[in-house]
Amino acid sequence: MAAFGEESTADEVLAGLDLTGQRVLVTGVSAGLGVETARALVARGADVVGTARDLAKARAASGVIAGPGSFRLEECDLASLASVRACADRLVAEGLGFDAIITNAGVMACPQGTTTDGFETQFGTNHLGHFVLVNRLLPLLRPGARVVSVASGGHRNSDVDLDDPGFERTEYNPFVAYGRSKTANILFAVELDRRLRDKGIRAVALHPGGIRTELMRHLAPETLAAYAAATTKGLAPIRMKNVPQGAATSVWCGFVAPADEIGGKYCEDCAVAAVVEVDPGERKGVRPYAVDPERAKALWALSERMVGEVFGAE
């Protein structure tokens, strides 16, 4: 297997692959990484179903997607469980299988607010929306399928708070909230992999890298500067990637890396990341709490209670 790293692009990772007949769901295809991920897959023959909250915006952004594969859009607002369930119901009724689901959509460091269902915006959108969508689509996953959860190095900001997920008793901080939601993305992959691996289906989480995309739309320049100043003391500077580089680890996890190597793991720069307790220098690795299997089980149980659905047996 060719070696890839932090500068690899999605096209380089997928070079030489023929994905004809592979069907893939990618969430968040109205901009940035979602569009690039879908473009790279369709260019190699995959049939991609992209989801977006704003279909008009997604149609405009997806004009760059072309190739021997196919691309279509489905409406799905991850901040509304009614929208998520309606999207899943349409796909299940269609009955066509999926070889991969890439949960790419998300929001970052937004002002305090709630989703349609009353969940804290980032936890509700980034984690609970995907939690319901993926679980409802599990009957469509083909043998050997992978669920790829786009998390973030931002998980190092904070662990999940299983006692106060909505900041009802905790002072709201947008970066803490983002960190909680990204830790939740990783823990979801850990538990989902445990539940599905005996069926030949694997789940993995990843950090795409620091990329200036619309994800940062809530961050004013002074906010970015303050955040950088507060988090870079003693750390290496944040190395920014371009969008093609940012999509590389998603497609590497989905179509290139050996399943047994990445199942239940957290990846970055097209490699499995080390578990790092304290990170005094490089901004690398995954915190132990984000890959703790018992914490993953507890988050799963909490998530089921919050959304009012039970998904499968232990």
Q: How many CB atoms lie within 10 A of CB 220?
A: 9
CA 137 – CA 162 distance, rounded (Å): 25
172 noted as active-site residue: no
> Percentages helix, strand, coil for the chain, rounded to the nearest 5?
45, 15, 40
Q: Residues 38, 25: contact at Cβ < 8 Å?
A: no
Instruction: State the CB neighbour count (10 A cutoff) for residue 18.
Output: 11
Q: Which helix (H) or strand (E) holds 102?
A: strand 98-103
How distant, in Å, are the alpha carbons of 45, 72, 290, 293, 294 from that of 297? Answer: 37, 34, 12, 6, 5
Q: Decide if 189 contacts 205 (C-beta within 8 A).
A: yes
Residue with tokens 């690039």: 36
Q: Which of 178, 227, 266, 289 is catalytic?
A: 178
Amino acid (1-letter code) at residue 313: A
Tokens for 112, please give them. Answer: 């305090």
Catalytic residue numbers, as ranges: 178
